[in-house]
Structures are given as C-alpha cells and as structure tokens.
Amino acid sequence: MSQVLFFIAAIGVITGAVGVVVLRNPFYAVLALVGHLLSLAVLFLLLRAEFVAAIQVVIYAGAVMVLYVFVVAYVGEESESLGDRLRNPGAVGSQLRLGGAILAGALLVELLIALLGTGLEAINGKGAGYNPGPEAFGTPAYIGKLLLTRFLLAFEVASFLLLIAAVGGVVLARRRHGVEEDDEQDVLTPMNLLRPRSTGTMAEGVGKR
Amino acid sequence: MSIAWYLAVSAIVFSLGAIGVITRRNPLVVLLCLELMLNGGNLALIAFSRMWGNGDGQILAIVVMTVAACEVCIGLGMIVALYRRHLPIDVDELRELQG
Amino acid sequence: MTQTTYGWLVLAFPLLGTLTIGLGYRKLPGRSAGWIGTAAIFLAFLAAIGALLTMQDHSESHRQAVSSLWNYASTVGIDAQMSILVDPLSVFMILIVSGVSTLIHLYSISYMTEDRGFARYFAYLNFFVFSMLLLVLAGNFMLLIVGWAFVGAASYLLISFWYRRKTATAAGIKAFVINVVGDVGLVLGTYFIFKHTGTLDFLRAFHATQAGAFGHATNNGDLVAGCVLLLVGAFAKSAQIPLHTWLPDAMEGPTPVSALIHAATMVTAGVYLIARMHPLFELAPAAEDVGAIVGAATLLIAGTIALTQTDIKRVIAYSTMSQIGYMIMGVSVGAYAAGLFHLMTHAFFKALLFMGAGSIIGAMGGGQSLEKMGGFRKALPFTYGCFIVGGLALSGIPPFSGFFSKDDILLVTAERGGWHWALYVVGYIGAFLTAIYTFRMIFRAFHGEPVEEALELEEGHLHHAEQPTNPATGEVEDTDVGFPGPFHTIAERALPMRVAMGILALGAFGAGLVQIPKVDFVIDDFLRPSFAGSPLYASESHTKSSLLVVGIVLGTLLGLAGIAIAYRVWVKKPGTAGAVRARLQPLYELFVNKWYFDELIGAVVLTPFAAVGGFARGTFERVFVDDTLVGGTTGLVRIGSAAVRAAQSGFVRYYAALLVLGLAGVGFYFLLQT
C-alpha cells in the first residue's frame, strides 16, 4: 500500500518539477510548484515526518507560494515559450540551454550512482524502528522538544534570520517618495511636522499622507 | 520502500531544479526552480532522518524551509524593486556585472 | 720623524690644499686660493726634503721603508694595506714632482689671474699633485692603481678646464678614454702578477719573483703577459705609440697644466712604473724588448711629426712624446738611473719651454699658431732667454742638462750590445730631429720680422684681441667662466712667472752636472738601494771609454748640426722650408697628418664599436628586449587576462551554470575516489 502511495506521490513530485521548468507562463509555473510541494508533503508523511509535512503544506505551499502569486500578479506576465527561445536565441544562445541540460544531466547521473550504486551499504533500506506514543518519531512534541533543547541555537538564529528578512523585504520594496498627487493641505497637525517626508507606508502608497 | 527510492527522487528533483535555474530567463521562474532544488535537498534530509531514526534531519529540514522563506522574501523584494524602476525583468538583460 | 712620516706628510699637504680650496673657495678672498695651493705643494716639497735627509741617514741596505696606515682588506688570499713605500726611487720622484709643481703653481697664479675659474683650477691642480704623489709613493699595486686612476681623472678635469669649449671637452674625453684602456691593462697585469706571487705588496712581490714564483727560467708566459699588460698601462699614460693620440689634443688645457701634467709629471708615470717593476721586467726580457722598441719608434715618429706642426704647444707636446720615448727605451733596456736622470732634466727644461710658450701666447693675445708669430726677440727678452736655455737643453748641447742625460741613456743602450745598436742609432737620429724642430720653433717665433703683436709690445702695449676666439677653430667665445679670462699675462710683466721660469732655467742649465757620465755617479748611487739585486744596474758603471768619447762628440755634433740647419732654413733663407716641402710632399703629408694614427684608430676601433652600439640600440634593444621580452610578457599577461575576463559575462545564468559544473566536477572526483 505504501508503495503505491509512494509511486503516486513520486510521480506528482516529478511532474510538478518538470512543470515548473517547462511552463512558460510564470503563473502556471507557480501552480505547478504548489502541486509539487503538496506531493512532497505526502512523501514526507510516508517517511513518518508528520510535523514537517504539515509545515510544508502550511508554510511553504501556503505562505511562500501565496507571496509568489502576489508578486507574479504585480509584475505581470513575461512569458516566452521554450520553442521561441530555441529558435531565436537571445544574447546567451542555445548553447547555454544545451550545456545546462547536459551539466544537470551529468549531475543527476553522478548523484544516482553515488546514492544507489556505490558504497552506501550503510543505508538500511527499511529505516529504523518506530515506537508509537505521544513523543514518537516525527510528532510535533518530538520536534518541539528537539528544537528547544538540542537545537536551541539553530532555532533562535533562524528566528533572527526571519526578522532580518522581513526588514530587508520592506526596505527593498518601498517607495522612496509618495505617489505624487495634488497637494491636499489638511489640518497641519504636529504629527505632520514630526513625520518624515516619505516613509513608504501603505497610506502613502494609496495616496493619503 | 527502501530509502534509496526516496533518494533517487530527491536527486531527480535537484537536477530538474538545476536545469531550470540555468535555462529560464524570467527571474521569478529562476527563483521557483531554486525552490525546487531546496525541496530536493529537504527530501533527502527527511529520508536520512528516517533511516537513522533521530530527528536531526527533520530539524534541519525545518531550518532549510525557514531559510527558503527568507530568501524568497528578499528575492521577490528585489524583483519588485526592479519592476518599480522600469528595468527589464529578464536575467539576460541585467548584466552590469559584466567584465 | 721617520722617512715614512715625512712620506705621509707629503701626501697630506696637497690633499689638505685640495679640500680647503675646493670646499671653501667662496670664503677665500681674492687670489688667495692660488697662494694656498702653492703653499700646500711647497710644504709637500719641504716634507720630501725631510724624507730625503732622514733616508740618507740610514745605511744603504735600510733605505727602503714601508709604512701602513691601516689594513684595508685582509681576507683569504688578499692582504691590501694602505701602505706607502719610501725608498730612493720614490723620494727621487716626489722631489721632482713637488718641486716642479711648486714652481708651476707659482707661475699659474699670474697666468690664470683673470680666469673666472681660478679657485677651481687650483683645487684641481692640487688634487692632481696629490694623485701623482700617491702614485709614486704607493707601496702596493692597489694604491698604485688608485693613484693611476686619480691622475687620469685629474688630467681629464684639467684638460677640459675651459669646459665651454667643445674642442676642450672632446680632448678631455679622448684623454680619459685612452687612459682607461691603460688602466685596464694595468689592472690585468696586476692580476697576472698576483696570481703567481700571491701578494699585492711591491717588496713582497719582488722577493717572491726573485725567489722563483714564476719559475727560474726567463720569459715565463704569465710573467710576460703581465709585464706586457703593465706596459700597455705605461704606454697609455706616457703617450707612446699606439696610445698616444690624446697628448696633442690635451694641449687644449691651460698652458701651466700642459707644463705640469703633460711634460713633467703625469706622462712620466709610465717610466716610473717600468723602473719600479724592474725585478719583473728583468725576468721577462721579451716584455723589455717590446718596451724598448715602442720607445724607439715613438721617439722617431714623434720627432718627424714635430717638424711639421704649426701650433707651438703641439710642437712641444710631440717633443715631450719623443723624449718620453727616450726614457721608456732607457728603462726598458735596464738604464734605470739614466732614464730617471733624463726624467729629471726633462721635467726642468720641458716645463720651462711650456712656461715660455705660455708667455708668448699671452703676448699674442691667446693665439698659438707659429705661422702668425715672428720677431718677438726684442719684445720678450726674458722669454726668449728661457726658450734658448730650454731649447739648448732639449737639443742636447753641453753643458746643458739634456746632453748628459740623453747621452747616458744612449751609452747604456749601446752597452747592452746586440740588436740594441739599432736603438742607439735611432736615438741619435732622434736627437738630430729634436734639435731641428726645437730651433725651428724658436727661430720662427722669435726671429724674423716682428709681427704686429710684437711691435705693439715693443711699444709697451700688450696685444688684446677684441673678440676672444678659440685658437684651434676660430669660433668666437666670451670670457665668462668656462672660457679663458679676458686678459693675458707675459713673463716680463709678472714676477711670479719670472721667478718660476728662472729657477727652472737654472735647473735646465745646471742639473746635468749632477751626473756627468762616468765621472759623477750621484744619481746612480742615490738610486742604488732601490735597484739592489738587479743585474743590469750593476753593469751600468762599466763602460769602455772609447764609446763614451764617441757618444759625447756625436751628440754635440748632431745637436749643433740641427741648430745650424734650422738656422739656415728658417732664418737665413726663409723660402727653403716651402721648397723642401714641395719636393717631399707625400712625406710632408704623412707627418702633418700625424702618421694617420687618429684615422687608423677611428677605423679600427671607433667605427666597429659605434656600429655595435648602433646595432645594440637600434636592433637588439628595440626588437629583442623591448618587443620580445617586455612586450612579450605584457602581451601574454594581457591575453591571459582577456581570456579570464571573458568568463565575467554578467549573465547570472552563466554563473549558475558554472556553479553546477563545479558541483558536478567535485562529485565526479569523489566518485572516482571510491
């Protein structure tokens, strides 16, 4: 049973991946990636990583991909077919395409050989034993306990990194000056004097100071 | 299923992501393919964690996901900034590092 | 005080003089630089006399003293000291050098009085005297070479003293370059000597040689090579064929410089060298023969050239070359005392002649051409008298000094026997020519119709050229620094000049009486300790008296005959010279062009060197060094960096591809490992 599920999920994963690479419309590529992520979550479940699978769906497919969708909608579609590009090569030309494919193919072959063929006899094909219970392998409690004891530093650093990324994202994407509109001289409150000229707030973005 | 199958899938996903990064011109799609590569790595990590029976791999996979989220945030912020300045959204046109 | 202390004092005084004048010339008022210089050399002369007296106090076998100031270099194989050797030979030389130099300094005070470079002149002159004294006092090869080089440098500085004259600077360079050739010969010769004796010190080297460092047979290859190379040095310094071309050009320097350097002292350094190295030469008769032949050839060739020259200073210069030829011939055949005696008398009368020439040049307002001179007898009586004295001494008329010394040399030469009789004959032919050209000069300048400068002078007005010109080329100059001064002096009006010339005239007249051949042996005895152990020296005193009489009579007759011929050609029948020249035109051309030595050296040496230099600069330097070596390496770097720069295409995907490539490569490597 698990084998059947594995194959279905694996096919979903690979199809999604191929779709991301091939589809010319970026919106469709995003959707393909979402499918890929969901299939990957199933694979995680098969590997008894319940919490990680949940995280994958909620955060990765849920938040990150939504962010992608927003940006794709904002930036617009710059779709170009693979066939177009093959026929009218741009500045880099088709060699890079071909070379890239060859390189990645070589990489794949190597990895497969490494993983499957050579001395990975240590890989116990079946996996370790598994004791069910409240803090069993893969449960949230299990992960939580690890995060707060053994991997506390990684946990804290990761949260710090998130903070930095958030600040960075705001700084990168803000407007320098507000949207130019007619001068609306409202009541001149002290706040107007104290506030700096442009802070990139949503209010400014919309038009009100 | 033996772990080897999962690892094979992981390798395939990683390579597909590599091809995509090299091949596509739209920076958004390039970032997407980058995500693919990260996911391939994640899968390998989880597989090994299952094999050894401890949670290290899963923790690392969570951290990788966190990092991926941050990187997406910054990357998309850059693309938005590019769009705001009316620069072409095409990695081949953005060549100021040349020479 | 010991003789060596006096020796160091002899060196110290001129050095102090140079430094004082050279460094402090701004503070020295008026003409005091000249008096300081003269005083310095005079003190050196007094110290030389002190050395003489203390040396004579010792017994004969203890008269050679070496004193070392400090150990310059003492490493494996070489022991180089700052040491001087005070022995009869060097005392003889320093007496002559400092004595004549004092008189010339005195003369120069008047002669150069109007020159803007007065202090510079005396600084250089003192430096020259210091170098020459160093050369003759040197106790080892190292200081000899140092003195040798310094003398060459001083000569260059003084020849191109009037440095804004192109002819003067060219002459200075020519002299210096030829001297350098001699220096090279000297240093290489030293190497050969050092190789076998293992020491640079003179006395030790001589003892080693006599003890058999070069083997006991004569004409050891290395020794002959070393001695011939030393001879090359001697020839360059003493202006013998073929390294003589610099001496006539050196007359571009001021006349006192010509008197000092190119008559009395520097050009005699070669003679001193051969005399000092006599133990080496006596074991290499082949080298001695070379020296004798070259000396004889020079005296003949120089004599013939002097017959045709029209510049008064050049006549005297060629005469110097000829007389040095006598000296070189003399010391090469072993007539050491005779050769050095001639050196002494020659210093007197040659310096006297040059001083007289300076006086008459002053009377001409700077002109030096014999063709423009005439009839100065009444206008310049003192100068005329000095010329007569010097000329008679030069021509070898008894009882003047030149007769005794020249005869002495030729006598000893004949005594050697064998092929040396040829040298004897050549010597007398040379004496004959000497008398002719000397009195040709005197008669043309002082006899005949007075030229207008002479007439002016008889009325009491010294001729003054409106525009100063270069006597050789005629181009116009000014009288600022670097050119001669505006006013010239003549002996009749300057006391210092008269004093100096007078003393020299006395020397030219009476110095010969010091050593009348076979009667007096003053010089022989005096120099004996320096030449102890020389088999040739001992035999100098034994002669057949018949040869002596023949020599005396022949010498006198030839001298008088020469004067008579000169009188007839240039005074009695003035057109005879032109007629003779017309009859012997090719010979005349050969002589007046100085036997084409300048052209020969130009073709054989200068042209190939210039060609090599041109090739090196134009082809080798440009093509090989600039284009291939320098251009090649920079080109390679440029191409390489262009190739590397191509990787920075700016395409992000390209960089990503390179990353994947790297990853694949690393993976491949690790795969291969397992």
What does the angle CA C373 – CA C375 – CA C381 come to, to the nearest 5 degrees?
110
| Residue closest to C315 by CA, chosen among C566, C494, C485 | C566
Partner chains of A (3+ C-beta pairs under 8 Å): B, C
Looking at this predicted complex, what is its ipTM?
0.91
Structure tokens at C40: 């310095």
Cβ count near C91 (within 10 Å): 28
Which of C649, C655, C660, C672 would best serve as a mutation to test chain A binding (most A beta carbons within 10 A)?
Answer: C660
Using the 3D structure, point to which of C554, C569, C592 is the last residue of a domain. Answer: C592
Q: Please determine, for residue C337, whether its predicted confidence score (pLDDT) is greater than 90.
A: no
Return d(Cα C180, Cα C249) in angstroms, integer. 16
**Does residue C664 share a domain with residue C569?**
no
| Cβ-defined contact of A126 to B17 (cutoff 8 Å) | no
Structure tokens at A95: 């060699």
Return d(Cα C403, Cα C392) in angstroms, integer. 9
| Residue closest to C134 by CA, chosen among C125, C142, C124, C144 | C144
Instruction: Give me the percent of chain C exceeding a pLDDT of 90.
Output: 35
Q: Please determine, for residue A172, whether its predicted confidence score (pLDDT) is greater than 50.
A: yes
Chain segment C620-637, per-residue pLDDT in tens? 877 777 777 887 888 889
Chain segment C205-234, per-residue pLDDT in tens? 888 888 887 777 778 888 899 999 999 999
Residues in A touching C669 (Cβ below 8 Å) = none
**Does residue C620 share a domain with residue C529?**
no
Alpha helices in C86-220 (DSSP H): 88-111, 118-137, 141-159, 166-197, 202-211
User: C473 near C108, Cβ under 8 Å?
Assistant: no
User: One-letter amino acid identity for C408?
Assistant: D
**Does residue C332 share a domain with residue C315?**
yes
**Does residue C571 share a domain with residue C626?**
no
Sorted by where each begins, the domain ranges of chain A are 1-98, 151-180+190-209
Which of B2, B3, B16 would best serve as a mutation to test chain A binding (most A beta carbons within 10 A)?
Answer: B16
| Cβ-defined contact of A123 to B51 (cutoff 8 Å) | yes
Return d(Cα C229, Cα C46) in angstroms, integer. 36
Which of B21, B32, B34, B79 would best serve as a mutation to test chain C binding (most C beta carbons within 10 A)?
Answer: B21
Chain segment A20-75, per-residue pLDDT in tens? 998 888 899 999 999 999 999 999 998 888 899 999 999 999 999 999 999 999 88
| Cβ-defined contact of A21 to B19 (cutoff 8 Å) | yes
Q: Please determine, for residue B83, whether its predicted confidence score (pLDDT) is greater than 90.
A: no
Partner chains of B (3+ C-beta pairs under 8 Å): A, C
Using the 3D structure, point to which of C592, C626, C652 is the last residue of a domain. Answer: C592
| Residue closest to C661 by CA, chosen among A117, A101, B8, A22 | A101
| Cβ-defined contact of B46 to A47 (cutoff 8 Å) | yes
Cα atoms found within 13 Å of the Cα of residue C558, Cβ hemisphere only: 24
Is the whole-model pTM more than 0.90? no
What is the band of B95 on the pLDDT scale with cuts at 50, 70, 90? confident
**Does residue C522 share a domain with residue C624?**
no
Which letter does DSSP use for residue C628 in this model?
I
C150-176 average pLDDT score: 91
C173-186 average pLDDT score: 93
**Does residue C467 share a domain with residue C375?**
yes
**Does residue C398 share a domain with residue C449?**
yes
Structure tokens at A57: 């769906």
Residues in A touching C673 (Cβ below 8 Å) = none
pLDDT score, position A119: 47
Q: How many CB pairs under 8 A join A and C?
A: 36
**Does residue C138 share a domain with residue C29?**
yes
**Does residue C619 share a domain with residue C568?**
no
Phi, psi of C665 (to 5 degrees): -65, -45
The answer to whether the peptide bond before residue C399 is cis (omega within 30 degrees of 0) is yes
User: C108 near C121, Cβ under 8 Å?
Assistant: yes
Q: Please determine, for residue A146, whether its predicted confidence score (pLDDT) is greater than 90.
A: no
Number of domains in chain C: 2
| Residue closest to C326 by CA, chosen among C260, C436, C404 | C404
Instruction: Give me the CATH code for the B3-84 domain, please.
Output: 1.10.287.3510
For residue B19, what is the nearest residue in chain C, using CA coordinates?
C657
**Does residue C635 share a domain with residue C501?**
no
**Does residue C620 share a domain with residue C552?**
no
Crossing angle for the helix pair C88-111 and C32-57, nearest 10 degrees?
A: 160
C405-443 per-residue burial string, b: 16 or more CB within 10 A, e: under 16: bbbbbbbbbbbbeeebeebbebbbbbbbbbbbbbbbbbb
Which of C649, C653, C654, C659 would best serve as a mutation to test chain B binding (most B beta carbons within 10 A)?
Answer: C653
| Residue closest to A36 by CA, chosen among A53, A55, A11 | A11
A67 at B interface, C-beta within 8 A: yes
Residues in B touching A3 (Cβ below 8 Å) = 1
A1-98 fold: Four Helix Bundle (Hemerythrin (Met), subunit A) (1.20.120)
Mean pLDDT of chain C: 86
Chain segment B26-37, per-residue pLDDT in tens? 889 999 999 999
| Cβ-defined contact of B84 to A128 (cutoff 8 Å) | no
Return d(Cα A35, Cα A41) in angstroms, integer. 10
For residue A63, what is the nearest residue in chain B, using CA coordinates?
B69
pLDDT score, position B43: 95
Q: Please determine, for residue C68, whether its predicted confidence score (pLDDT) is greater than 50.
A: yes
Nearest-CA distance from C671 to chain B in Å?
Answer: 15
| Residue closest to A48 by CA, chosen among A136, A125, A124 | A136
pLDDT score, position A182: 47
More confidently predicted of A198 and B78:
B78
Mean pLDDT of chain A: 78
Using the 3D structure, point to which of C559, C575, C592 is the last residue of a domain. Answer: C592
C453-475 average pLDDT score: 77
Return d(Cα C393, Cα C387) in angstroms, integer. 10
Which letter does DSSP use for residue C165 in this model?
-
Q: Please determine, for residue B51, whether its predicted confidence score (pLDDT) is greater than 70.
A: yes
pLDDT score, position C577: 77
Interface of B with A in 37-56 (CB under 8 A): 39, 42-43, 46-47, 49-53, 55-56
User: C447 near C570, Cβ under 8 Å?
Assistant: yes
A45 at B interface, C-beta within 8 A: no
Of A3, A47, A111, the CB nearest to B50: A47
User: One-letter amino acid identity for C24?
Assistant: G
Residues in B touching A62 (Cβ below 8 Å) = none
Nearest-CA distance from A55 to chain B in Å?
Answer: 8
Alpha-carbon distances, residue A64 vs A68, A157, B20, B74 (angstroms): 6, 20, 19, 12
Of A55, A72, A115, the CB nearest to B8: A115
Interface of A with B in 86-145 (CB under 8 A): 90-92, 96-97, 99-101, 103-105, 107-108, 111-112, 115-116, 120, 123-130, 137-138, 142-143
pLDDT score, position C234: 93
